[in-house]
Amino acid sequence: MTIDVLGEPYTVETIELSDDFEGTVVATLVKRDADGDAKGAVLYVHGFSDYFFQKEYAEWWTARGYDFYALDLRKYGRSLLEHQSGTYIGDLSEYFDEIDAAWERITERDGHSHIMLSAHSTGGLTVSLWAHDRQPDALAGMVLNSPWLDLQGSFLLRELATPVVRRIGHRVPMRELGRDVSGYYTMSLHVDHDGEWEFDLGLKPVGSYPIRLGWLKAIRDGHARLHRGLDVKAPVLVLSSDRSSKPKAMGDIVHSTDIVLDVRQIRRWSTAIGRHVTYVAVPGAKHDVILSRPDVRKQAYAEIERWLAAYGV
């Protein structure tokens, strides 16, 4: 392990994976040790057009006695290589390889038997599918931050669009989907714009990464699997904002609503994840709840604390 770009005490290691159609593939595992003796571990997985930089979140867990690990998935963040199409995946189950590898390091190498999974947005969909498929004994619970559980838009739009996405995404998976990205969300986060957080805009760009039809097909296939019902046996906490919006300009609404996903869909589909799901809408939260304004994320952390105590995890 070496010192991570976040600086000490964060360390980083590369996970070598099997080559894909573009060549060499790697993932990256970041770690911060618990403050004092560790009673468990957390494995965090980021969302789309994202990577791990949320130090405050890591330090919240390490202060409570958890070793904190964060996985930059293949073709994201620290794992993105020059020859790769950033963020592209043809099937969400391909990510299971790096989650398996991280899990093995945490359990077998580092000796943890009490592990919390935590994930944001697309990562929340991916880890839910992984936990259902793998049924790991060491999984103590999951904390999902605005997981992406359905496609935005009306029911009619979803019903009409999904078969087309599947057909074209299979034929020409690398074709980009045209879309208009305002950039308000990332600007509301970054310290050089309208936010308070420092991160690499080359790895989490204001304009996002392109969406390719093969990737969108993979997402819709993942949604369909979740909608049929998963069987995650560990307790699950799902956090989101209390409302969504589509702002036309930068302003307070950008900072106090989810402008990326429809929180009604998160609320609707959360219980499809497993047997013990707690859903909490945090008033005034952003899409990434733990990057909301200070008073809002204070409430979010209080909700996680309450949930941990309730389930004894």
Quote the CA–CA distance of 36 and 215 in Å, as a whole number.
41
Q: Note the pLDDT tens digit of each residue in 154-180.
A: 555 566 567 767 777 778 888 888 777
Q: Note the pLDDT tens digit of each residue in 183-218.
A: 999 999 999 999 999 999 999 999 999 999 999 999
The answer on pLDDT for 79 being more than 60 is yes
Q: Note the pLDDT tens digit of each residue in 12-56.
A: 999 999 999 999 999 999 999 999 999 999 999 999 999 999 999
Domain range list for the chain: 2-311
Residues in the chain: 313
CATH homologous superfamily of 2-311 equals Alpha/Beta hydrolase fold, catalytic domain (3.40.50.1820)
- What's residue 20's pLDDT? 97
| HSE-CB for 41 with a 13 A CA cutoff | 24
The answer on pLDDT for 291 being more than 80 is yes
**Phi-psi domain of 144 (left: phi exceeds 0; alpha: psi -120 through 50; beta: other):** beta
Mean pLDDT for 135-152 is 96
Range list of H helices, the chain: 55-62, 96-104, 122-134, 155-171, 184-189, 213-227, 252-256, 263-269, 294-311
Quote the CA–CA distance of 128 and 119 in Å, as a whole number.
9
Q: Note the pLDDT tens digit of each residue in 216-236.
A: 999 999 999 999 999 999 999
- Sign of the alpha-carbon torsion through 262, 268, 270, 272: negative
Q: What is the DSSP letter of 92?
A: G
Other CB atoms within a 10 A radius of the CB of residue 101 amount to 16
Q: What is the DSSP letter of 209?
A: P
Buried b (16+ CB within 10 A) or exposed e, 244-275: beebeeeeebbbbbbbbbbbebbbebbebbbe
pLDDT range class, residue 152, cuts 50, 70, 90: confident
